[in-house]
């Protein structure tokens, strides 16, 4: 249920409890900020000693104010926090900001205190940000309750780190970006990251949502909220590289790391995942415009081969494609470029820009008009001519002593910048610029028109990646969890097979046996060849607990006697041998993450799964169409399509089985790990050959 946070961002009145004249105390910084807009709403300063704070009379308590207060900021030592919360609620506060530390971050006792405070706040119908936070700010309502100022703009910043928020502000400033709101998340005892994302999505003045989070709380709910926001969400997080704390008992558990889970959740939700504050600022700057590339095909335009080659490499590293232009496109470019110009892609003016700066704009506009191109990256010297006349740099004309032409070159460059800017506003395709002179008049003209301009090639490539639709049809979306199913009580092999079989996952015939009599009865139930498996082993193949292709009863019996003598397993499975010819073995698994819930893994299966690690992840359940796209993205996808005379396999059948497996796992919260490995996919369908489940 969406929460009403209006009292948090646009309160009728504000009180700062713990306001101080001591610059070393946080209550001083918050009080000073709160007083920046005294005409917007009453601002009350509270200090138990009374007197004056920042030249204003301070009340000794909230009750002493003598009137209700809508929002209360509490910045007092830890032992006094609960009493301050109770006083605020008694005075009718509808929102509280808890700056005080010493709660969940200190251990179980602190967590218990925090939970008790949050329960009282909710019971009173109020909301609490924090505790252990650094305040909030809303430039749209002139609410300043953090220690620092945030330049006004249209980004909502939700951060668990104050210093990172300040760095992000500094990195956004050169791009002309500012903030509508800032919220320090703190411990999220009451108001959560999800609540704030949902509220920012409804906030008309917010264009994009920037998040730094170490603790997602309910990660799946965050992904759902981000997917539904209808606005760009950019996430910076830490600790993504550590493995799951659970002792994995399957390939799926062993291969699923925190990084995989967060990456999959962000991709499914359409969230831009970044690794540094600099990258976050680059992506936010890129997303400032409305243009998006419908595909990955990028044209690189330059007036120097070195810049073009580096930009092409950077684009491909970012996940874009730099395809060779068709013969028709190259002929068209030849009509307007020099003979020595390269037109294959990268398109290199080869010095033509020094003679005719309009060649930059003419070439960029021609590339934007090509149906075979989705976006354009202009890289290198553009901006240098106007920079030279503006005192920002020197161009070739200055270096060669022909500065007399510098003014004409600068004027021509600024004119072509205006033409490019006009073109950029009328096309749906994005143009991104990397310039040695990003602050030049020509580059400022482009930036003012919404064309992202960067000094670093890798930043321009990353920006272009952010402007590229990741898949046909956009982000896959976060699919709802199915209703919980009756819990699985026994996780034995045949019990798991039966559960999956009832969900429509096909298996070969099989019987569980414990002795020779049962073995021979199973051999009479279906024809050979047979498979014999020792049950209740973690990796049966490694332990010598699987024998394939036993042609008849006698070989089956001999294999059983040998295996039982070696392993002494309590039970075994006799199974009909599947036809492995022309088949590809896949793995399908679901691992239940403590933050994001069920996470699916699909990839190349069999005994080499962990060695090859050719797998892909998504939040479960995974619809069949999504499963097909995951399979198509594997490094070994050509095996599925058929190579070296082998026929293509039935990927649609495999995708349908993946949907059934992942839906089943998502409906059973008691299952920590569920895995089908291998899932044999042949030209005529898919067949599960082994399965296991681990209960939480």
- pLDDT tier for residue 473 given thresholds of 50, 70 and 90: low
- Asked if residue 138 has pLDDT above 90, the reply is yes
What are 61-99's pLDDT values in tens digits? 999 999 999 999 999 999 999 999 999 999 999 999 999
The first and second tokens of residue 412, run together, are 């021509």
Q: What is the pLDDT of residue 240?
A: 60
- Asked if residue 571 has pLDDT above 90, the reply is yes
Q: What DSSP string runs through 517-560?
A: HHHHHHHHHS-SSEEEEESS-TTTTTTT-EEEEE-SHHHHHHHH
- pLDDT tier for residue 424 given thresholds of 50, 70 and 90: confident
Q: What is the pLDDT of residue 404?
A: 38
Q: What is the pLDDT of residue 329?
A: 97
- Which residues lie closer than 8 Å to 40 by C-beta, 6 or more apart? 141, 142, 143
What are 628-652's pLDDT values in tens digits? 999 999 999 999 999 888 999 999 9
- pLDDT tier for residue 244 given thresholds of 50, 70 and 90: very low
Mean pLDDT score of the chain: 92
User: Contact at 8 Å (CB) between 590 and 615?
Assistant: no
Q: What is the pLDDT of residue 418?
A: 95
- Asked if residue 474 has pLDDT above 80, the reply is no
* Average pLDDT of span 180-198: 97
Q: What DSSP string runs through 93-150?
A: -SEEEE----SGGG-HHHHHHHHHHHHHHHHTT-EEE-SS--EEEETTTTEEEESS--
How large a percentage of the chain has pLDDT more than 90?
A: 83
Q: What is the pLDDT of residue 490?
A: 81
- Asked if residue 243 has pLDDT above 70, the reply is no
Q: Domains of the chain by range and CATH? A: 1-135 (3.40.50.720), 150-290 (3.40.50.261), 298-466 (3.40.50.261), 509-576 (3.30.1490.20), 584-695 (3.30.470.20)
How large a percentage of the chain has pLDDT more than 70?
A: 94
User: Contact at 8 Å (CB) between 165 and 103?
Assistant: no
More confident residue, 472 or 196: 196
- Asked if residue 611 has pLDDT above 90, the reply is no
- Asked if residue 476 has pLDDT above 90, the reply is no
- pLDDT tier for residue 251 given thresholds of 50, 70 and 90: low
What are 14-33's pLDDT values in tens digits? 999 999 999 999 999 999 99
- Asked if residue 402 has pLDDT above 80, the reply is no
The first and second tokens of residue 620, run together, are 């479960």
Other CB atoms within a 10 A radius of the CB of residue 440 amount to 27
- pLDDT tier for residue 389 given thresholds of 50, 70 and 90: confident
* Average pLDDT of span 251-276: 84
Q: What is the pLDDT of residue 171?
A: 96
- Asked if residue 618 has pLDDT above 50, the reply is yes
- Which residues lie closer than 8 Å to 21 by C-beta, 6 or more apart? 28, 52, 53, 54
pTM of the model: 0.91
Other CB atoms within a 10 A radius of the CB of residue 653 amount to 19
- Asked if residue 256 has pLDDT above 70, the reply is no
- Asked if residue 397 has pLDDT above 50, the reply is no
Q: What is the pLDDT of residue 217?
A: 85
Strands 95-98 and 127-129: parallel
How many residues are listed for the chain in this entry? 696
Q: For 296-372, where are the E strands, in sequence order?
A: 298-302, 347-348
- Asked if residue 403 has pLDDT above 90, the reply is no
Strands 152-159 and 208-213: parallel
- pLDDT tier for residue 248 given thresholds of 50, 70 and 90: very low
Residues 22-38 as b or e (16 or more Cβ within 10 Å = b)? eeeebbbbbbbbbbeee
- Asked if residue 246 has pLDDT above 70, the reply is no
Q: Count Cα atoms within 13 angstroms, Cβ side, for 622.
A: 32
- Asked if residue 399 has pLDDT above 50, the reply is no
Q: What is the pLDDT of residue 672?
A: 94
Q: What is the pLDDT of residue 255?
A: 61
Q: What is the pLDDT of residue 388?
A: 80
H or E, element range at 46:
strand 43-46
Q: What is the pLDDT of residue 375?
A: 96
Among left, alpha and beta (phi > 0; psi -120 to 50; other), residue 350 is: left
In DSSP terms, 321 is beta-bridged to: 297
């Amino acid at each position: 249920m969406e929460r009403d946070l209006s009292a948090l961002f646009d309160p009728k009145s504000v009180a700062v409890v713990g306001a101080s004249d001591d610059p070393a105390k946080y209550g001083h910084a918050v009080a000073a900020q709160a007083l920046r807009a005294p005409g917007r709403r009453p601002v009350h300063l509270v200090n138990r000693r009374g007197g004056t704070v920042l030249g204003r009379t301070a009340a000794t308590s909230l009750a002493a104010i003598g009137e209700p207060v809508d929002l209360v900021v509490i910045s007092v030592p830890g032992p006094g926090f609960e009493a301050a919360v109770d006083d605020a609620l008694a005075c009718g506060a509808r929102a509280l900001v808890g700056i005080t530390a010493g709660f969940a971050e200190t251990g179980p006792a602190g967590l218990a205190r925090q939970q008790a405070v949050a329960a009282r706040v909710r019971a009173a119908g109020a909301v609490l940000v924090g505790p252990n936070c650094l305040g909030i700010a809303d430039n749209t309502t002139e609410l300043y309750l953090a220690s620092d100022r945030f330049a006004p703009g249209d980004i909502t910043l939700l951060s668990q780190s104050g210093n990172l928020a300040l760095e992000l502000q500094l990195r956004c400033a050169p791009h002309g970006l500012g903030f509508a709101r800032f919220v320090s998340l703190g411990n999220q005892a009451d108001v959560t990251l999800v609540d704030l994302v949902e509220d920012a999505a409804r906030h008309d003045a917010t264009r994009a949502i920037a998040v730094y989070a170490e603790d997602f709380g309910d990660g799946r709910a965050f992904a759902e909220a981000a997917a539904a926001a209808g606005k760009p969400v950019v996430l910076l997080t830490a600790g993504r590289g550590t493995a799951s704390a659970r002792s994995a008992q399957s390939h799926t558990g062993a291969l699923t790391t925190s990084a995989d889970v967060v990456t999959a959740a962000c991709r499914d939700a359409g969230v831009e995942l970044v690794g540094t504050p600099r990258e976050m600022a680059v992506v936010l700057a890129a997303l400032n415009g409305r243009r998006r590339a419908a595909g990955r095909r990028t044209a690189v335009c330059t007036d120097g081969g070195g810049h073009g080659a580096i930009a092409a490499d950077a684009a491909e590293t970012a996940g874009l494609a730099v395809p060779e232009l068709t013969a028709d496109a190259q002929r068209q470019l030849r009509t307007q470029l020099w003979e020595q110009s390269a037109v294959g892609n990268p398109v290199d003016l080869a010095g033509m820009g020094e003679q005719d700066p309009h060649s930059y704009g003419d070439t960029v506009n021609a590339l934007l008009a090509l149906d075979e191109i989705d976006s354009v990256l202009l890289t290198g010297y553009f901006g240098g001519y106007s920079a030279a006349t503006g005192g920002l740099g020197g161009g070739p004309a200055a270096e060669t002593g022909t500065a007399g032409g510098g003014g004409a070159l600068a004027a021509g460059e600024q004119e072509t910048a205006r033409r490019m800017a006009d073109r950029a506003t009328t096309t749906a395709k994005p143009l991104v610029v990397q310039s040695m002179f990003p602050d030049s008049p020509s580059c400022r003209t482009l930036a003012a028109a919404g064309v992202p301009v960067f000094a670093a090639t890798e930043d321009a490539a990353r920006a272009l990646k952010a402007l590229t639709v990741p898949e046909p049809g956009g982000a896959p979306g976060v699919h709802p969890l199915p209703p919980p199913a009756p819990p699985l009580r026994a996780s034995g092999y045949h019990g798991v097979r039966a559960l999956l079989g009832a969900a429509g996952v096909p298996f070969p015939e099989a019987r569980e046996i414990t002795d020779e009599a049962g073995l021979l009865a199973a051999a009479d139930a279906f024809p050979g060849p047979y498979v014999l498996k020792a049950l209740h082993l973690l990796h049966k193949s490694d332990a010598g607990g699987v024998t394939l292709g036993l042609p008849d009863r006698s070989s089956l019996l001999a294999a059983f006697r040998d295996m039982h003598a070696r392993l002494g397993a309590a039970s075994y499975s006799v199974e009909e041998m599947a036809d492995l010819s022309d088949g590809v073995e896949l793995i399908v698994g679901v691992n239940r993450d403590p933050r994001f819930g069920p996470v699916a893994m699909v990839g190349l299966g069999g005994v080499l799964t962990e060695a090859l690690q050719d797998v892909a992840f998504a939040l479960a359940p995974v619809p069949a169409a999504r499963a097909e796209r995951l399979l198509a993205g594997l490094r070994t996808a050509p095996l599925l399509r058929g190579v070296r005379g082998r026929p293509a396999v039935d990927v649609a059948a495999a995708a349908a089985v993946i949907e059934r497996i992942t839906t089943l796992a998502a409906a059973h919260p008691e299952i920590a790990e569920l895995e089908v490995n291998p899932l044999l996919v042949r030209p005529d369908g898919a067949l599960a050959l082994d399965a296991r489940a681990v209960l939480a």
